[in-house]
């Protein structure tokens, strides 16, 4: 494992770090990569944590992915208290370019990369994939050069359209996305209704095209932080463009898979999806 590798250093900010977990090196066979993007409402979170639902696992999610034959790169990115959007997207792009630049040295297959994020990390994973090959979203953080090929996206309960979150929210919602002090407002630097163009740019649904990679969307129907309608909306947009998407609504689960007795099923489903889109472990690609 390589811990705390600097992949970029934006002027005036802290260095941006990633942790890289790797299987035993085989010089003849570069390994596919899962790029994990942590959640935390864009304002908190740590790259060494997969989510509280998995904290008690004897073998944690990162190690399980490595045992399945993946390398895992888990990223820091600038939080909303440090910089507003699109800084977070620029940081993710820089990390992907770093992985591409060092793939040969590290034994990574830059042509088989799955983005996997939860909550705010799911939002950023979706944005990273949907703005692929869009130079206007690359930013100037980190090394220049090409990025990786995104083979698929696992998006767990991530916001998809900041403009519709308020009206999709449950009656027992924990917060009001349109409020002046919401997580969304802190990300944008202004309340969502006051910054419609910025909110649209920060919404994955705005960037969907027929070029999108396969998506696996999973969301609890009782989510009080990010309404499950967000994943339904993104799935509909992807289908309208003829893209491959699987939507799993988990009955009764709240945010962070709270209320789900055993998250094993959702994790195993995501791992199988990652293996399929990478043509890994001999599994067929999804139809």
pLDDT digits (tens, 9 = 90+) for 22-66: 998 776 799 999 999 999 999 999 999 999 999 999 999 999 999
State the pLDDT at residue 133.
87
State the pLDDT at residue 283.
42
> Residue 252 contacts by C-beta under 8 Å, 6 or more apart in sequence?
220, 221, 222, 259, 260
Range of the domain at 47: 2-277
- Residues 71 and 112 sit within 8 Å (Cβ to Cβ): no
Quick check: is 96 in a domain? yes
pLDDT tens track for 205-216? 999 999 999 999
Quick check: is 284 in a domain? no
287 pLDDT higher than 50: no
pLDDT tens track for 109-159? 999 999 999 999 999 999 999 999 899 999 999 999 999 999 999 999 999
Quick check: is 160 in a domain? yes
Quick check: is 81 in a domain? yes
Quick check: is 64 in a domain? yes
Quick check: is 57 in a domain? yes
> Residue 149 contacts by C-beta under 8 Å, 6 or more apart in sequence?
110, 111, 112, 113
Quick check: is 74 in a domain? yes
286 pLDDT higher than 50: no
Quick check: is 287 in a domain? no
pTM (2 d.p.): 0.96
Q: How many domains does the chain have?
A: 1
Question: The domain spanning residue 221 has which CATH number?
Answer: 3.40.50.1820
């Amino acid at each position: 494992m390589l811990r705390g590798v600097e992949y970029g250093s934006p002027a005036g900010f802290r260095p941006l770090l990633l942790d890289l977990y790797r299987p035993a090196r085989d010089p003849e066979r570069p390994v596919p990569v899962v790029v994990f993007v942590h959640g935390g409402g864009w304002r908190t979170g740590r790259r060494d944590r997969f989510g509280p639902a998995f904290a008690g696992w004897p073998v944690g999610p990162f190690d399980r992915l490595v045992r399945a034959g993946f390398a895992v790169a888990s990223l820091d990115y600038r939080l909303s208290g440090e910089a507003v959007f699109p800084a977070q997207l620029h940081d993710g792009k820089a990390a992907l370019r770093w992985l591409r630049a060092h793939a040969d040295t590290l034994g990574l297959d830059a042509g088989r990369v799955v983005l996997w994020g939860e909550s705010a990390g799911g939002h950023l994973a979706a944005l990273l994939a949907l703005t692929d090959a869009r130079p206007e979203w690359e930013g100037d953080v980190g090394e220049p050069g090409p990025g990786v090929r995104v083979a698929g996206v696992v998006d767990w309960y991530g916001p998809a359209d900041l403009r519709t979150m308020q009206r999709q929210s449950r009656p027992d919602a924990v917060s009001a996305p349109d409020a002046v002090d919401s997580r969304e407002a802190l990300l944008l630097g202004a309340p969502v209704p006051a910054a419609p163009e910025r909110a649209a740019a920060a919404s994955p649904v705005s960037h969907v095209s027929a070029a999108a990679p396969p998506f696996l969307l999973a969301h609890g129907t009782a989510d009080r932080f990010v309404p499950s309608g967000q994943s339904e909306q993104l799935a509909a947009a992807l289908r309208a463009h003829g893209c491959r998407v699987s939507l799993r609504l988990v009955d009764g689960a709240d945010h962070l898979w709270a209320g789900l007795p055993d998250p094993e099923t959702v994790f195993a489903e995501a791992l199988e999806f990652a293996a399929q889109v990478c043509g890994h472990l001999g599994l067929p690609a999804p139809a």
